[in-house]
């Protein structure tokens, strides 16, 4: 992270899992309270706003951009763009015990009962999850092109019912769903003062809304 022995910095050189973890640590603000179970989507939104019972990664600023991020399939498929994450919030909904952030930040294909919320500005996510064993360059980490986060709203099927969330529409047209009715690839915008609805746009351009229960 501080360069090579000859005091140069080679952004195209390969990095390691440990260096990736270090990057996460430096961008991370782990709050005092551990994650815990939540009883409804409104409580989740309140947690996102107040910063309690969550693990966060903060201030991951945009280093570049797409000409058009809405409804463009290629922005999810070609892995050449940059990720923009203003404030990514991970909430563990499965355990009342403290849990390390890195086990859950390195998502696998079947991330169970977890919800990742984006607070403030839109975020771009790719069609596959972050794999710490994958060889990536420091440059790729820096510009976000290999920062493989899952979608910013991952809900287990049982959680859809628990949080009174609707399932994604037009699932047959979304090639990244892979038959999973409880997972979709999209980007959401949840403001610091979220209203009763917030919308998502999938990679195929379809727009739908979730209604926050009263």
CA angle 42, 48, 54 (to 5 degrees): 115
CA angle 209, 180, 99 (to 5 degrees): 85
Residue 22: what pLDDT? 54
Residue 4: what pLDDT? 58
Residue 50: what pLDDT? 42
Q: Exposure pattern of 28-49 as b/e (b: 16+ CB <10 Å)? A: beeeeeebbebeebbebbebbb
Residue 7: what pLDDT? 56
CA distance 55 to 91: 7
- The DSSP call for residue 34 is P
CA distance 25 to 38: 26
Residue 6: what pLDDT? 62
* Nearest in space to 124 (alpha carbons), one of 82, 64, 166, 180: 82
Structure confidence by residue, pLDDT tens digits, 51-97: 333 333 322 222 233 333 333 322 322 333 333 333 333 444 444 44
Task: Record the tokens describing residue 60, joined without a space.
Answer: 């991951």
Residue 73: what pLDDT? 29
Residue 25: what pLDDT? 47
pLDDT < 50 regions, the chain: 1, 25-214
Residue 20: what pLDDT? 58
CA distance 54 to 51: 6
Residue 161: what pLDDT? 45
How high is the mean pLDDT of the chain? 37
pTM summary value: 0.18
Structure confidence by residue, pLDDT tens digits, 119-132: 222 233 332 233 33
Q: 171 with 181: CB under 8 angstroms? A: yes
């Amino acid at each position: 992270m501080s360069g090579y022995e000859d005091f140069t910095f080679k952004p195209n050189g390969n990095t390691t899992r440990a260096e990736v973890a270090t990057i996460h640590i430096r961008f991370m603000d782990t709050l005092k309270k551990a994650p815990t179970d939540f009883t409804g989507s409104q409580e989740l939104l309140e947690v996102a706003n107040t910063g309690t019972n969550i693990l966060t990664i903060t201030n991951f600023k945009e280093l570049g951009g797409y000409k058009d991020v809405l409804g463009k399939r290629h922005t999810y498929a070609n892995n050449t763009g940059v990720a923009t994450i203003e404030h990514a919030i991970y909430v563990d909904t499965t355990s009342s015990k403290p849990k390390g952030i890195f086990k859950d930040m390195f998502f696998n294909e079947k991330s169970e009962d977890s919800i990742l919320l984006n607070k403030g500005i839109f975020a771009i996510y790719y069609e596959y999850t972050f794999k710490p064993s994958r060889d990536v360059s420091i440059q790729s980490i820096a510009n976000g092109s290999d920062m493989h986060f899952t979608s910013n709203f991952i809900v287990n099927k049982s959680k859809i019912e628990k949080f009174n969330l609707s399932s994604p529409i037009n699932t047959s047209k979304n090639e990244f769903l892979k038959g999973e009715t409880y997972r979709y690839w999209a980007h959401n915008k949840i403001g610091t003062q979220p209203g009763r609805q917030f919308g998502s746009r999938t990679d195929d351009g379809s727009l739908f809304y979730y209604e926050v229960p009263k």
